[in-house]
């Protein structure tokens, strides 16, 4: 079958090198350092390939180097760098070595790459020298920015290192283009770290509305039964890696003011944040809600889709989010979202239409908002239908088409 048109008449398909050094798009979101970035990298790569482009994805291997096909015309290359498991905080020390392996792989490729797309600051730090050495334009997507994260730290949370702050400023000035995931991120890029607005493009993520969709009532009952949630209890779900930035402590404290609800936390503790996970159980015991908190760890994507569909409310109490995929996935499942009024969440949740945005971090106020939705079946349905309708307007094919435009703007006319 002939792939979709490339988006520009008579344009040749592109060879794209996607770099995700610190985490593989093949990893399960919610486990280790995997999250929304992994989903975006994988889904956009597959959608680009469906348009006829060739996509090679490069990541760091903790073991022997290897490669695997992720989809037609999408190949993952895991490059051996540093040996063994390395904590994320130590990865900046390996970017030079990873970049050297990346350059060797690029030189060994049968055809040269037209563009490099680096995801996260570590990938940009590793890929920029390769871009300059081989004369291949580089597009940068940051996903999160230290400038914003450091403004919204939890009490006692360690700020992002100065090296990251300075590197992101440098990459913002050197990348041929920046693909930002939200208008909120663009504001930080241009006003906070000095990126040139002429080189910043808005390319928000999408959601798989086939995987994430409302399921039959019987399926929801099965999920609740497996979780031990009674039919007369409200099911509130919070999805994401367990870390202070995601604010699961607020979700737990909220339960003190929601006597009829059960909270399910889906996601593993980020390496180094294991004590934060323990603190959530400490909080639950201290306020007497331990029996109504279920931590089920990370889930495969189909299981996550069933959980989001079974939920009556999905809460996203993050302190900072460049965008946030979970609200989109919940909306596609027909489930209302209650989220922090911060960053890109103000774009992934349409306040009053697909969910509710909450100012501040008062557990009682959050409980009041969530409780109002739990107690009103008509409101649940109204918010859920609106969410499904709105997110269905955009899919990963749109993301691929927009990325292609960004890529082609960086490629010299003679190329």
Segment 57-107, tens digit of pLDDT: 999 998 889 999 999 999 999 999 877 777 778 899 999 999 999 999 999
The label of the residue with tokens 């090679």 reads 56
- E-state strands within 112-191: 115-119, 138-141, 177-180
Neighbour tally for 174: CB within 10 Å? 13
Residue pair 41/25 in contact by the 8 Å Cβ criterion: yes
Better-scored residue on pLDDT, 47 or 33: 47
Tokens of 336: 């209302």
- For residue 269, the 8-state DSSP code is B
What's 217-391's CATH class? Answer: alpha beta
Tokens of 290: 């331990």
361-401 pLDDT, tens digit per residue, is: 999 999 999 999 999 999 999 999 999 999 999 999 999 99
According to the model, what pLDDT value does residue 219 have?
85
The predicted model gives 337-357 an average pLDDT of 97
End-to-end CA distance of the chain: 28
Q: Indicate the helix (H) or strand (E) that contains 217.
A: helix 217-227
Task: Identify any residues that bridge with 239 across adjacent strands, giving them in sequence order.
Answer: 266
Residue pair 49/396 in contact by the 8 Å Cβ criterion: no
221-251 pLDDT, tens digit per residue, is: 999 999 999 989 999 999 999 999 999 999 9
Residue pair 258/74 in contact by the 8 Å Cβ criterion: no
Tokens of 256: 């003190």
According to the model, what pLDDT value does residue 5 have?
41
Separation of alpha carbons 201 and 195, rounded Å: 11
- E-state strands within 154-251: 177-180, 200-202, 234-239
148-164 pLDDT, tens digit per residue, is: 989 888 777 889 999 99
Separation of alpha carbons 203 and 127, rounded Å: 21
Tell me the average pLDDT of the chain. Answer: 93
Q: Indicate the helix (H) or strand (E) that contains 77.
A: strand 74-80
Same CATH topology for 15-206+395-410 and 217-391: the answer is yes
Residue 158 exposure: Cα atoms within 13 Å on the Cβ side: 7
* Confidence band, pLDDT 50/70/90 cuts, at residue 10: low
Task: Say if residue 1's pLDDT is above 50.
Answer: no
Task: Say if residue 3's pLDDT is above 60.
Answer: no
Separation of alpha carbons 79 and 59, rounded Å: 6
* Confidence band, pLDDT 50/70/90 cuts, at residue 8: low
Burial of 218 (0-12, 13-18, 19+ CB in 10 A): exposed
The label of the residue with tokens 């040269």 reads 112
The predicted model gives 119-145 an average pLDDT of 97
* Confidence band, pLDDT 50/70/90 cuts, at residue 216: confident
Domain spans in the chain, listed from the N-terminal domain onward: 15-206+395-410, 217-391
Separation of alpha carbons 172 and 44, rounded Å: 22
The predicted model gives 28-44 an average pLDDT of 88
- The pLDDT > 70 percentage for the chain reads 97
* Confidence band, pLDDT 50/70/90 cuts, at residue 218: confident
Residue 399 exposure: Cα atoms within 13 Å on the Cβ side: 24
According to the model, what pLDDT value does residue 217 have?
73
Q: Which CATH superfamily groups domain 15-206+395-410?
A: Glycogen Phosphorylase B; (3.40.50.2000)
Angle at 326 between CA 181 and CA 304, to 5 degrees: 140
According to the model, what pLDDT value does residue 93 have?
93
3-class secondary structure, 121: helix
Neighbour tally for 24: CB within 10 Å? 24
Tokens of 379: 């409101």
Angle at 93 between CA 19 and CA 163, to 5 degrees: 90
């Amino acid at each position: 079958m002939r792939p979709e048109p490339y988006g520009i008449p008579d344009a040749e398909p592109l060879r794209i090198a996607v770099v995700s050094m610190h985490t593989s798009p093949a990893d399960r979101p919610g486990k280790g350092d995997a999250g929304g970035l992994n989903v975006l990298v994988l889904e956009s790569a597959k959608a680009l390939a469906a348009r006829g482009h060739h996509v090679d994805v490069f990541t760091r291997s903790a073991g022997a180097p290897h490669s695997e096909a992720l989809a037609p015309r999408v190949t993952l290359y895991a490059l051996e760098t540093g040996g063994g498991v390395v904590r994320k905080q130590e990865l900046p020390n390996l970017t030079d070595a990873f970049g050297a392996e990346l350059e060797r792989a690029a030189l060994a490729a049968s055809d040269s790459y037209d563009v490099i797309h680096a995801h996260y600051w570590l990938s940009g730090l590793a890929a920029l020298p390769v871009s300059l050495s081989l004369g291949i334009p580089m597009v940068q997507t940051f996903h999160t920015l230290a400038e914003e994260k450091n403004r919204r730290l939890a009490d006692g949370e360690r700020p992002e290192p100065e090296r990251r702050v300075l590197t992101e400023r440098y990459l913002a000035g050197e990348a041929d283009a920046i693909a930002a995931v939200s208008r909120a991120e663009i504001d930080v890029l241009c006003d906070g770290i000095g990126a040139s607005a002429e080189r910043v493009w808005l390319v928000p993520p999408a959601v798989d509305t086939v995987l994430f969709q409302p399921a039959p009532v019987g399926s929801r009952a099965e999920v609740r039964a497996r979780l031990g949630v009674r039919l007369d209890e409200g099911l509130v779900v919070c999805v994401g890696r367990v870390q202070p930035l995601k604010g699961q402590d607020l979700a737990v404290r909220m339960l003190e003011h929601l006597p009829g609800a059960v909270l399910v936390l889906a996601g593993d503790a980020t390496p180094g944040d294991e004590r934060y996970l323990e603190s959530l159980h400490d909080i639950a015991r201290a306020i007497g809600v331990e029996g109504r908190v279920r931590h089920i760890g990370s889930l495969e994507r189909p299981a996550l889709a069933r959980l989001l569909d079974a939920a009556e409310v999905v809460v996203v109490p993050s302190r900072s989010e460049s965008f946030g995929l979970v609200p989109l996935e919940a909306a596609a499942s027909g489930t209302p979202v209650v989220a922090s009024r911060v960053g890109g969440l103000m774009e992934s949740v349409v306040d009053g239409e697909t969910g509710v945005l909450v100012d501040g971090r008062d557990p009682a106020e959050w409980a009041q908002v969530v409780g109002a939705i739990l107690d009103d079946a008509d409101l649940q349905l109204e918010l859920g239908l609106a969410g499904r309708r709105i997110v269905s307007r955009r899919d990963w094919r749109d993301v691929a088409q927009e990325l292609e435009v960004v890529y082609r703007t960086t490629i010299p006319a003679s190329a």
